[in-house]
């Protein structure tokens, strides 16, 4: 039997690396889009690099996307590429819109040109709910984005729905709530807290500078969430799904858990810093994934507490190796 072929944008990112690993384990032939940089940035995929094929291109460059699809002829495409950090989206709103919003149209258009039978996954985000109109948030909750990133993701979501309805594409938008892992970017709060707790424990630094302690997020483990992406594309009929743990935690609670993993009290080390405050905040995210549970049979395997412990332990190991401790 010929192997299924998959094309992943954002393969060098957190989710791309977990998804590539999972699809390899399912027998897929995996292709990933990478943009040209002066230094390589393959840390998250180094361990599988000899099993995947990397294609040069950019979400800003239509030609590269169309050519990639023509060459690969994939069965499935997962669009995970984005300028994905909310804070940066205020400094680079136009760029964020170009990559995170218009990039989706470029890829959908490439699919229309090359083969409309390709199945498409769009990485939508709980940030689209922003100033929440309903608690918990579900597929039918109206969007009210609170950052240029959130606005760009709303565009990406609706253009996916629009192509599905206009051209009958098998196009799905997964509305994923925050998910982390030891591979999460250091700028995101759960990784920042895990990394700083480990650094403080090892005596490498003595404080963590942090922003809003009150906002609340619904966090899960990236490994569980990429499995949900794949399940969505295996359905006969495409639809949109919320993927979430259904539990929410404040930043204070995150600090409590991470620092208790290293037997420290965060209150002795945390300094509030204006630089990490945002012009507009998303106060309370909590998702209702009952549609995914009922239709996909999906539920998370890793709890928030287990996730943070996994991240702190991984950072302790990483830092000990780096500093020869
Ligand atoms: P990351 O920031 O870890 O990865 C983003 C990826 O996009 C990287 O591979 C990056 O490449 C790539 N990328 C950025 N700009 C371009 C471009 N112009 N052309 C090609 N590739 C580009 O994100 P995550 O893995 O955490 O998230 C995956 C997706 O899911 C993103 O779209 C994100 O917005 C969305 N999402 C994530 C959530 C989360 O909690 N993690 C929650 C909800 C949605 P490079 O390595 O070169 O920078
Ligand atoms: P987001 O949900 O995609 O914006 O993920 P982040 O991890 O960047 O932020 C989650 C929440 O943590 C937001 O409400 C931030 O305001 C809050 N937060 C508090 N302190 C920090 C910090 O130092 N860094 C980041 N990234 N977020 C912080």
Nearest CA to ligand 2 atom 27: 189
Instruction: Supply the pLDDT for residue 28.
Output: 98
pTM, to two decimals:
0.98
Note the CATH number of domain 185-218+247-283+301-323.
Answer: 3.90.25.10
Say how many residues make up the chain: 325
263 C-alpha to ligand 1 centroid (Å): 33
| Separation between Cα atoms, residue 181 and residue 18, nearest integer Å | 10
Strands 241-243 and 171-176: parallel
Enumerate residues 6+ apart whose C-beta is below 8 A from 163.
Answer: 108, 112, 120, 169, 171
Nearest CA to ligand 1 atom 30: 123
Q: Is 127 among the residues known to form the active site? A: yes
Catalytic site residue from 121, 149, 163, 195: 149
Q: Is the pLDDT assigned to residue 1 strictly greater than 90?
A: no
Instruction: Supply the pLDDT for residue 99.
Output: 98
Q: Is the CB of 107 under 6 A from ligand 1?
A: no
Q: Is 252 among the residues known to form the active site? A: no
Instruction: Supply the pLDDT for residue 254.
Output: 98
| Separation between Cα atoms, residue 272 and residue 246, nearest integer Å | 28
Ligand showing the shortest atom-to-Cα distance for residue 44: 1
| Separation between Cα atoms, residue 13 and residue 43, nearest integer Å | 9
Enumerate residues 6+ apart whose C-beta is below 8 A from 68.
Answer: 7, 31, 33, 55, 57, 110
Enumerate residues 6+ apart whose C-beta is below 8 A from 23.
Answer: 6, 8, 30, 230
174 C-alpha to ligand 2 centroid (Å): 21
293-317 tens-digit pLDDT = 999 999 999 999 999 999 999 999 9
Q: How many CB atoms lie within 10 A of CB 167?
A: 12
- Given a contact cutoff of 8 angstroms between Cβ atoms, the answer to whether 66 and 114 are in contact is yes
260 C-alpha to ligand 1 centroid (Å): 30
Note the CATH number of domain 5-179+221-243.
Answer: 3.40.50.720
Instruction: Supply the pLDDT for residue 212.
Output: 97
| Locus of tokens 């918990």 | 136
For the chain, give the mean pLDDT: 98
Q: Is the pLDDT assigned to residue 101 strictly greater than 80?
A: yes
Domain residue spans of the chain? 5-179+221-243, 185-218+247-283+301-323
Q: Which of 95, 113, 128, 153 is nearest to 285 (CA)?
A: 128
């Amino acid at each position: 039997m010929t192997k299924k072929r998959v094309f992943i944008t954002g393969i060098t990112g957190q989710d791309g690396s977990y998804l590539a690993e999972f699809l390899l384990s399912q027998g897929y032939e995996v292709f990933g889009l990478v943009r040209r940089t002066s230094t390589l940035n393959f840390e998250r995929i180094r361990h599988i690099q000899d099993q995947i094929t990397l294609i040069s291109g950019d979400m800003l460059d239509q030609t590269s996307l169309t050519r990639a699809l023509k060459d690969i002829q994939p069965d499935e495409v997962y669009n995970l590429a984005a300028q994905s950090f909310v804070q940066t989206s205020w400094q680079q709103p136009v760029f964020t819109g170009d990559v995170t919003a218009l990039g989706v149209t470029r890829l959908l258009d490439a699919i229309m040109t090359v083969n409309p039978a390709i199945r498409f996954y769009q990485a939508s985000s709980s940030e689209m709910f922003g100033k929440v109109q309903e608690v918990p948030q579900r597929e039918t909750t109206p969007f009210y984005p609170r950052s240029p990133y959130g606005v760009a993701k709303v565009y990406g979501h609706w253009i996916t729905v629009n192509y599905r309805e206009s051209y009958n594409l098998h196009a799905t938008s997964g509305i994923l709530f925050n998910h982390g892992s030891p591979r999460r970017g250091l700028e995101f709060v759960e990784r920042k807290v895990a990394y700083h707790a480990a650094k403080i424990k090892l005596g490498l630094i003595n404080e963590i500078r942090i922003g809003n302690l009150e906002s609340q997020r619904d966090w899960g483990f990236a490994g569980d969430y990429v499995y949900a992406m794949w399940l969505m594309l295996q359905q006969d009929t495409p639809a949109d799904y919320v993927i979430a743990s259904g539990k929410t935690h404040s930043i204070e609670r995150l600090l409590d858990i991470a620092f208790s993993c290293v037997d420290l009290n965060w209150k002795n080390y945390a300094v509030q810093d204006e630089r990490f405050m945002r012009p507009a905040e998303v106060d309370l995210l909590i998702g209702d994934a009952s549609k995914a549970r009922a239709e996909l049979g999906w539920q998370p395997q890793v709890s928030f507490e287990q996730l943070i412990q996994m991240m702190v332990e991984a950072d302790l190991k990483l830092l000990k190796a780096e500093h020869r401790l």
